[in-house]
Amino acid sequence: MSEAVRTLIVAEDPLARAGLAAMLAQTAGAIVVGQADEESASAAVHTLAHVEAVLWDLGWTPDSHLAAFIRFIETHATPVVALVADPALAGAVRTAGVRGLLRRSASAEQLATALQAVIHALIVVDESLPAGLSTTTPLSTTALVEPLTARELEVLRLLAEGLSNKEIAHVLGVSDHTAKFHVNAILAKLGAQSRTEAVVKAMRAGLILL
């Protein structure tokens, strides 16, 4: 299993910070090592021990927070996953050079998966955001033991959404045993030890987008 990404949460709203911390606490893919507002984000990255990635919530009016966000991106090498509420402003956020861009409604599993991806030098953009944005751009290639079948790709996309085997079985109209079989086959073909690692490797290979 991939080690949990040591994450700093940045948001102006303390309730938003607390909510994101609670969400990441539900996953094994990320661990919150600190929280900060925009003004103290830079100091937090330097004073906290081994921050690997930043989860930055731009709130409901990201245009009013872009200046601080861009300054941070320009002066720090720490990869950032940004959360936006208004898809129309996603382009400006992406142009700033952020590696990860998700909707504020992203699930805990999607947040953790994106954080895992950006520390592996991947670019992750929610595919439902406006066309024209960069999508997953792998900087390295994951070699598959054998190609995934159409059904396995379908299951893989559901894994990326954070669904359990039982939920996947319900969506696809198959038995729990069949869903588990497909998940195990995907892990084997990707050489992954966990569901999160499988999704990260699949994104690296360009098989799926968040």
The pLDDT tens digits of the residues spanning 126-161 come to: 877 764 444 443 333 445 656 778 888 889 888 887
The arithmetic mean of pLDDT across residues 70-82, rounded, is: 87
Task: Please tell me the CATH code under which domain 150-204 is placed.
Answer: 1.10.10.10
Structural domain spans, the chain: 5-125, 150-204
Q: CB of 99 within 8 A of CB of 80?
A: yes
Alpha-helical runs (H) found in the chain: 14-24, 41-47, 66-75, 90-95, 108-118, 150-160, 165-172, 176-190, 195-204
Token pair of 49 as six digits: 């021990």
Whether 45 shows a pLDDT value over 50: the answer reads yes
The dihedral built from the CA positions of residue 180, 206, 146 and 5, taken in this order, carries a sign that is negative
pLDDT for the residue numbered 191: 83
pTM summary value: 0.64
Whether 1 shows a pLDDT value over 50: the answer reads no
| Residue keyed to tokens 């949460």 | 9
> Which CATH class, in words, describes the domain spanning 5-125?
alpha beta
Q: CB of 204 within 8 A of CB of 122?
A: yes
